[in-house]
């Protein structure tokens, strides 16, 4: 399927005609407009001591490598957005691997370092994960978590249809079903992004007022902060100048909370996630209703506790009734093991997921032995399909982190940060020529 029919199918004829008009206003024959947009985003994030992460198809990179090298030298991260701007869903594993390796060859030739992959249209499938891993990627940024910040009831039916088409296209997961934390699948770190992105808001829902846009993104940031997760914003650089006010408002919002929000590139997030995976809160009995809790691993780790009396260590308050312990070890008074007691018959996938959350784990022979601790008994595992596994994991995390049982754990983010924010953008085209070349390139690749 070529881009025209693809776009019409997912956006509708009217939306596609509008898109054609905007292409001529947002891109130029030269790289100049895109360069200005990229610079605008880089400048906005630099004020927060960080930089954006951009994803670009290799074919576009090949035509604008000078510009992209300059962007990377400025501190921004560059990731791979396919060889051409096509959807991987429905391609065989061989075809996905071939196109991914071809993309890597262009990045290598143009001397652009990369760590991550994001699919055009977020069009990944189960096979893609194996391909990313075997091609040496450290992370992907494809899982789209949808925040219902726009009231769908109030929308005209054409807009509501357009929204539901894009949610389907992006395989959107409701935010109530996902805890907005990265996770690892067979060595690949997966970092969720949050939608609606700029494309959905501008072109599908026709919300173009910068103040309104900023308000919506700020409300997502609030939710992500409350959940202690990560907000990965996707702002296509073609709207980088147009949406600058909204981006500034979002970044300002991230500085307004009681606890710091980590503004970081995705490559730093994946590095941290690996470092954190090597870190545990080790719990040993100190006798007489006392336990010694010690961080083993990363010096950047944050130690959190709830429903415990901490002796001889300084603490500061943390949202949700938790405490942050300011030292790497402490002695706590608790009637029971301050971690998760797991029944013998609970499956390894559940244990892996719980360890990834940073909880100390103790296998117990019976529920009686777990008395007073959080007890998890799940012989059936997390679930049969991906949606079920996400739902179970999210629900378990809520029960454990909001419960009344004593709990020590490694916080999600480094150095006492409550949440994370990554500004990202897909550079689908640099020039008007790129936009039209996409139609030919995607057709050639579908036929290949
Ligand atoms: Zn794209």
Secondary structure (H, E, C), 22-45: HHHHHCCCCCHHHHHHHHHHHHHH
Cα–ligand 1 centroid distance for 409 (angstroms): 38
User: CB neighbours of 280 closer than 8 A, spacing ≥ 6?
Assistant: 295, 296, 297, 355, 358, 360, 410
**Which tens digits make up the pLDDT trace of 312-367?**
899 999 999 999 999 999 999 998 999 999 999 999 999 999 999 999 999 999 99
> Are 358 and 301 members of one domain?
yes
Please give the distance, rounded to the nearest whole angstrom, from the Cα atom of residue 141 to the centre of ligand 1: 12
For residue 311, give both structure tokens: 């002796």
Q: Are residues 199 and 226 in the same domain?
A: yes
Q: Has residue 273 been placed in a domain?
A: no
pLDDT the model gives residue 1: 47
Does residue 33 lie within any of the structural domains? Answer: yes
| pLDDT < 70: residue spans in the chain | 1-12, 15, 446-448
Query: How remote is the CA of residue 263 from the centroid of ligand 1, in Å?
Result: 23
- Which structural domain range is residue 405 located in? 279-416
| Whether residues 288 and 143 fall in one domain | no
- Residues 245 and 224 occupy one common structural domain: yes
103 Cα to the center of ligand 1, angstroms: 14
In a domain, 403, yes or no: yes
CA of 119 to the centre of ligand 1 (A): 7
Residue 265 within a domain:
no
Kindly state whether residues 299 and 322 are assigned to the same domain: yes
Could you tell me the distance, in angstroms and rounded to a whole number, from the CA of residue 195 to the centre of ligand 1? 14
Same structural domain, 172 and 227: yes
Query: Within a domain: residue 264?
Result: no
CATH of the domain at 425: 3.20.20.370
Q: Is 317 helix (H, G, I), strand (E, B) or coil?
A: strand
Residue written as token pair 């091609």: 135
Query: Residues 196, 90: one domain?
Result: yes
pLDDT the model gives residue 117: 98
Question: For residue 184, what are the β-bridge partners?
Answer: 189
Helices (H), 27-156: 32-46, 58-63, 65-73, 93-109, 126-134
Looking at residue 9, what is its pLDDT? Answer: 60
Structure tokens given for 430: 């640099």
Q: What is the pLDDT of residue 352?
A: 97
Pairing of strands 374-376, 290-296: unpaired
How far does the centroid of ligand 1 lie from the alpha carbon of residue 121, in Å? 6
Q: Is 269 within the bounds of a domain?
A: no
**Cα–Cα distance, 351 to 77 (Å, whole number):** 34
Helices first, then strands: H and E counts in the chain = 15, 23
How far is the centre of ligand 1, averaged over its atoms, from the C-alpha of 419 (Å)? 26
Helix H or strand E encompassing 363:
strand 361-364
353 CA to middle of ligand 1, Å? 31
Output the CA 157–ligand 1 centroid distance in Å: 26
- Let me know whether 225 and 301 are in one domain: no
The total number of structural domains that make up the chain: 2
In a domain, 228, yes or no: yes
Q: 412 and 426 share a domain?
A: no
Are 433 and 401 within one domain?
Answer: no
Span from the CA of 56 to the centroid of ligand 1 (angstroms): 8
Expressed in angstroms and rounded, the spacing between residue 120 Cα and the centre of ligand 1 is 4
Residues 15 and 97 in one domain: yes
Residue 191 falls inside a structural domain? yes
Residue 90 CB partners (closer than 8 Å, separation 6+): 125
Are residue 152 and residue 140 in the same domain, yes or no? yes
């Amino acid at each position: 399927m070529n881009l025209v029919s693809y776009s019409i199918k997912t956006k509708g004829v009217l939306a596609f005609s509008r898109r054609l008009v905007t292409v001529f206003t947002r891109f130029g024959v030269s790289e100049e407009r895109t360069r200005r947009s990229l610079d605008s985003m880089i400048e906005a994030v630099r004020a927060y001591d960080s930089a954006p992460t951009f994803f670009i198809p290799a074919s576009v990179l090949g035509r604008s490598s000078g510009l992209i090298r300059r962007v990377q030298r400025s501190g921004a991260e560059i990731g791979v957005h396919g060889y051409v701007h096509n959807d991987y869903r429905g391609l065989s594993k061989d075809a996905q691997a071939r196109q991914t390796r071809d993309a890597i060859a262009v990045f290598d030739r143009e001397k652009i370092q990369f760590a991550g992959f994001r699919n055009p249209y977020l069009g990944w499938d189960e096979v893609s994960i194996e391909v990313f891993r075997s091609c040496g990627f450290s992370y992907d940024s494809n899982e789209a978590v949808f925040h219902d910040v726009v009231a769908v009831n109030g929308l005209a039916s054409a807009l509501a249809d357009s929204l539901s088409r894009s949610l389907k296209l992006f395989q959107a997961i409701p935010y109530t079903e996902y805890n907005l934390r990265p996770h690892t699948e067979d060595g690949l770190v997966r970092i969720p992004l949050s939608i609606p992105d700029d494309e959905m808001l501008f072109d599908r829902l026709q919300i173009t007022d910068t103040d309104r846009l900023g308000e919506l993104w700020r409300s997502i940031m609030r939710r992500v902060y409350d959940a202690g997760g990560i907000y990965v914003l996707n702002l296509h650089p073609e709207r980088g100048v147009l949406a600058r006010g909204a981006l500034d408002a979002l970044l300002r919002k991230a500085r307004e909370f009681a606890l710091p929000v980590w503004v970081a590139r995705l490559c730093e997030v994946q590095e941290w996630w690996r470092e954190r995976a090597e870190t545990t809160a080790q719990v040993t009995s100190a006798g007489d209703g006392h336990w010694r809790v010690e961080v083993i691993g990363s010096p950047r780790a944050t130690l959190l506790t709830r429903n415990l009396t901490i002796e001889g260590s300084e603490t500061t308050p943390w949202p949700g009734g938790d405490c942050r312990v300011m030292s790497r070890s402490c002695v706590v008074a608790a009637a029971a093991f301050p971690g998760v007691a797991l029944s013998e018959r609970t499956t390894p996938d559940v244990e892996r997921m719980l360890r990834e959350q940073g909880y100390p784990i103790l296998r117990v022979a019976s529920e009686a032995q777990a008395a007073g601790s959080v007890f998890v008994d799940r012989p059936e595992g997390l679930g049969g399909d991906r949606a079920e596994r996400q739902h179970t994991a999210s629900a378990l995390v809520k029960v454990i982190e909001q419960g009344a049982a004593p709990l020590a754990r490694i916080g999600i983010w480094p150095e006492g940060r409550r949440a994370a924010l990554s500004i990202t953008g897909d550079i689908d085209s640099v020039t008007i020529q790129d936009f039209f070349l996409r139609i030919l390139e995607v057709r050639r690749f579908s036929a290949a």
